[in-house]
Amino acid sequence: MPKKAPKISRKAAQSNGYTAEHITVLEGLEPVRKRPGMYIGNTASAGLHHMVWEVVDNAIDEAMGGYAKNIEVRLLPDGMVSVSDDGRGIPVDIHKVTKTSALETVMTKLHAGGKFGEGGYKVSGGLHGVGVSVVNALSSYMRTEVSRDGKLWAQEYKRGKPVAKVKPVGKSSGTGTKQFFKADREIFTELEYDWQTILDHLRQQAYLTKGITIRVYDERDPAKKQDYSFYFEGGIASYVQFLNHNTEAKQEKVFYVDKTADAIQVEIAVQYTVEYREVVYTFANNIHTTEGGMHLVGFKAALTRVLNKYARTNGYLKEKEDNLTSDDVREGLTAIVSVKLKDPQFEGQTKAKLGNAEVRPIVEGIFNDYFQAFLDENPRDAKEILGKCLLAAQARLAARAARDTVLRKGALEGMTLPGKLADCSTRDAEKGELYIVEGDSAGGSAKQGRDREFQAILPLRGKILNVERARLDKMLANNELKSLVIALGTNIGEQFNLEQLRYGKVIIMTDADVDGAHIRTLLLTLFYRYFPDLITTGHIYVAQPPLYRVQFGKEVQYVYTDEDLAKVKKQLGISDQDVQAAVEAHAQSQVEVPAEEEAAEAVTAASKEVKAKTPKLNIQRYKGLGEMNPEQLWETTMNPVNRMMKRVSIIDAAKADETFDILMGSDVVPRKRFIQAHAKTVKNLDI
């Protein structure tokens, strides 16, 4: 008699079939290839360049330790990159744990390197120790050459796995490491390195590690070879001067201090300019801490205290006057705060914020003592700095009054929204969209074409104030900007509150012509200078209206670029002459017929002649949003199913700051140079 099957509990039944066989164990560098985004961010352009940064960081670590003076980076043909330094060279002797060469261990094992134990590196930017092994895992080919002990050692790898053992391949008179790698096309969606991105990053690293020379070569095209060499004896003091090279400085001498206390090196450079904004960049072990941290807190506290003390002592502030605020003393400030320490504690995987509490009092103490001495020894610079701060305090009081006026009229106090705003029905901020449109004509089409449930329309009249050249009090006196601030709901300046944002998407929608581009730039300047958090949190978008409406027979296509128009022409078998004739025919059909009979007949005849040549083709070139009827505007630009939009982001804050200063600042000469340098690359210029 067969035995009865054992009863299986419901809980056991639910787990039935899930056994140890379903648990995958990834060996060696397999986890990196399986989930590359965890290690380098993404597999697009940013991740591709991160590969270079990881290898360069190892060379920089040797330089920060005082072992290397020269670093070379070469972009070679066929996607190959080489990075070399004259440091100590990766050890090649046998590692007692792995029983293989230390070089192979470093190149093929995660969390292996000289950054964890004692005696390897006092200071390192590669905190997690996965850098070069990750690069190896994500490269289709890699080769490491090490010069030490009078020999040249080498090992090759394919997708992270050694091809052969580490072995000597020649003699060497010096020491150092040279890495060759080629990003794997099976991993990366983008394989083209951007020359300017490489230059900007290496220039910054040269500023942060004074006294080293970084040479970079672009040898991808033999006919277009180029190279740069970076060496800055002044370190971050030179960096501040570079950041201010298009701006008038208020102080003649850049303040600079480089001191070490309790094994923490503190390097700070400060210079005030005539601008209204502040530019402060912080670094920990050469890593850009974009969200600041304890070193920034200490710096700000000392800056405010020292300037208030100096102002009181020297009569700049009277007895009954309030102290300068932190905002007052940071207007026009350009500063670099760089610390180097053995065990940095970064908050978050992106290393965006330094969390070491012991860093704050050290930075605060060093900057307090040396900046106080600087002001005492340079009374002329001190007078200029205090004059700038006091003017900022006056403007702050004026701006507060102007801001209070805005609030009294705004929704934050329960009052009505701007009359020109056509608001949406939803009260869910995440779903809401605010379209900022150019002029009443486009505003009318947008209001009729939108989905009233979640899309709000705010038309702006004319070009708004250029806020790059204006303080907050003057800005809030502008009616168009005042309406926009009220509509956003976040407030502005020191009372800005991101949680009060009334719309998840703020979309700039302007005409595809020069005036539209100018208005778009003015709005981007406003958001970059006064609402940067809206950009960094991904709330600002730019709408992409079509340039052409192409009708061929009964088929209608909307074309967004001239490049796409060329593809449509090829697809439909249309010649350039056909396109030109169709555009002219449509333009003539829109012209008002003159009162004179002869002229009217001439226009009609010309139009018929053109249409006869292209009987099936009609092409409309949109100069402005107002030329679209509401249905077309919805279908092409506002319908979430069909529309194309660009999200505004900040990849390089220093570069973005410099560009806004050049294009929108008061100094004409840098802007003229910029236009001359980029004039030939302009597309779709419409004058």
Show the domains of the chain with their CATH numbers: 30-231 (3.30.565.10), 236-397 (3.30.230.10), 410-545+647-681 (3.40.50.670), 548-621 (no CATH)
- 141-145 — which CB contacts under 8 Å span 24+ positions? 141/180, 141/181, 141/182, 142/107, 142/179, 142/180, 142/181, 142/182, 143/179, 143/180, 143/181, 144/90, 144/103, 144/107, 144/177, 144/178, 144/179, 144/180, 145/169, 145/177, 145/178, 145/179, 145/180
**Pick the residue with more confidence: 577 or 634?**
634
Rounded to two decimals, the pTM is 0.69
Give the least confident one: 123-137, 434-448, 457-471, 522-536. 123-137
Distance between first and last Cα of the chain: 96
Please choose, from the candidates 536, 510, 522, the residue with its C-alpha nearest in 3D space to the C-alpha of residue 645.
510
Residues 6+ apart with CB under 8 A from 217: 72, 73, 74, 75, 225, 226, 227
Do the beta carbons of residue 293 and residue 353 sit within 8 Å? yes
Residue 278 annotated to the active site: no
- Which DSSP letter does residue 130 get? -
Please choose, from the candidates 272, 381, 394, the residue with its C-alpha nearest in 3D space to the C-alpha of residue 328.
394
C-alpha 525/C-alpha 91 separation (Å) is 51
Mean pLDDT of the 540-547 span = 91
Is residue 116 pLDDT above 60, yes or no? no
3-class secondary structure, 200: helix
Residue 334: phi, psi to the nearest 5?
-120, 120
Please choose, from the candidates 382, 278, 397, the residue with its C-alpha nearest in 3D space to the C-alpha of residue 330.
278
Is residue 657 pLDDT above 90, yes or no? no
Alpha helix locations (H) across 458-541?
472-475, 479-488, 514-530, 532-536
pLDDT value of position 608: 45
Query: What percent of the chain is modeled with pLDDT above 90?
Result: 44
Mean pLDDT of the 137-157 span = 95
Q: Which two structure tokens, joined as six digits, stand for 318?
A: 């009277």
Please choose, from the candidates 293, 271, 298, the residue with its C-alpha nearest in 3D space to the C-alpha of residue 282.
293
Give the least confident one: 312-326, 465-479, 637-651. 465-479
3-class secondary structure, 75: strand
C-alpha 158/C-alpha 141 separation (Å) is 5
pLDDT value of position 18: 42
Is residue 289 pLDDT above 50, yes or no? yes
Q: Which two structure tokens, joined as six digits, stand for 646?
A: 């660009």
Is residue 121 pLDDT above 50, yes or no? yes
State CA 564 to chain mean position distance. 27
Please choose, from the candidates 617, 637, 618, the residue with its C-alpha nearest in 3D space to the C-alpha of residue 628.
637
Mean pLDDT of the 69-98 span = 92
Q: What is the 3-state secondary structure (H, E, C) of 250-262?
A: CCCCCEEEEEEEC
Residues 6+ apart with CB under 8 A from 181: 51, 55, 80, 81, 135, 136, 139, 141, 142, 143
Residues 6+ apart with CB under 8 A from 66: none
- For residue 527, CA distances in Å to 2, 343, 459, 472 come to 79, 37, 17, 13
Query: What percent of the chain is modeled with pLDDT above 70?
Result: 83
Q: Which H or E element spans position 83?
A: strand 80-85
pLDDT value of position 94: 86
Q: 């744990």: which residue's tokens? A: 97
Strands 80-85 and 70-75: antiparallel
Cα torsion 280, 670, 467, 464: sign: negative
Residue 593: phi, psi to the nearest 5?
-70, 125
Q: Which H or E element spans position 596?
A: none
Question: HSE-up of 50 (CA within 13 Å, CB side)?
Answer: 22
Cα torsion 428, 433, 436, 439: sign: negative
Residue 511 annotated to the active site: yes
Amino acid in the structure at residue 60: I
Give the least confident one: 28-42, 353-367, 452-466, 577-591. 577-591
Is residue 21 pLDDT above 50, yes or no? no
Is residue 556 pLDDT above 80, yes or no? yes
Give the least confident one: 61-75, 120-134, 200-214, 234-248. 120-134
C-alpha 283/C-alpha 533 separation (Å) is 20
Residue 601 annotated to the active site: no
Please choose, from the candidates 551, 525, 675, the residue with its C-alpha nearest in 3D space to the C-alpha of residue 617.
551
Residues 6+ apart with CB under 8 A from 94: 100, 101, 102
- Which is catalytic among the residues 156, 515, 564, 584? 515
Is residue 548 pLDDT above 90, yes or no? no
pLDDT, tens only, 24-44: 344 568 888 888 888 888 899
pLDDT value of position 359: 95
Is residue 385 pLDDT above 90, yes or no? yes
- Which is catalytic among the residues 30, 327, 451, 513? 513
- Which DSSP letter does residue 610 get? H
Q: Which two structure tokens, joined as six digits, stand for 676?
A: 């001359």
Is residue 629 pLDDT above 80, yes or no? yes
Is residue 495 pLDDT above 50, yes or no? yes
Strands 333-340 and 346-347: unpaired
Q: What distance separates the 2 farthest-apart alpha carbons in the chain? A: 112
Do the beta carbons of residue 552 and residue 617 sit within 8 Å? yes
Residues 6+ apart with CB under 8 A from 614: 578, 581, 582, 585
Is residue 563 pLDDT above 50, yes or no? yes
C-alpha 487/C-alpha 485 separation (Å) is 5
Give the least confident one: 21-35, 181-195, 454-468, 589-603. 589-603
Residue 381 annotated to the active site: no
Is residue 409 pLDDT above 70, yes or no? no
Banded pLDDT at 410 (limits 50, 70, 90): very low
Do the beta carbons of residue 618 and residue 644 sit within 8 Å? no
C-alpha 30/C-alpha 27 separation (Å) is 6
Strands 433-438 and 645-647: unpaired
pLDDT averaged over the chain?
Answer: 83
Bridge partners (DSSP) of residue 18 are none
- Which is catalytic among the residues 438, 480, 635, 657? 438
- Which is catalytic among the residues 54, 61, 331, 511? 511
Banded pLDDT at 373 (limits 50, 70, 90): very high
Do the beta carbons of residue 524 and residue 601 sit within 8 Å? no
Mean pLDDT of the 165-177 span = 93
Mean pLDDT of the 408-416 span = 46
Strands 433-438 and 346-347: unpaired
C-alpha 439/C-alpha 408 separation (Å) is 26
Banded pLDDT at 681 (limits 50, 70, 90): low
Do the beta carbons of residue 406 and residue 483 sit within 8 Å? no
Please choose, from the candidates 464, 506, 472, the residue with its C-alpha nearest in 3D space to the C-alpha of residue 488.
506
Is residue 594 pLDDT above 50, yes or no? no
Do the beta carbons of residue 267 and residue 338 sit within 8 Å? yes
**Pick the residue with more confidence: 274 or 9?**
274
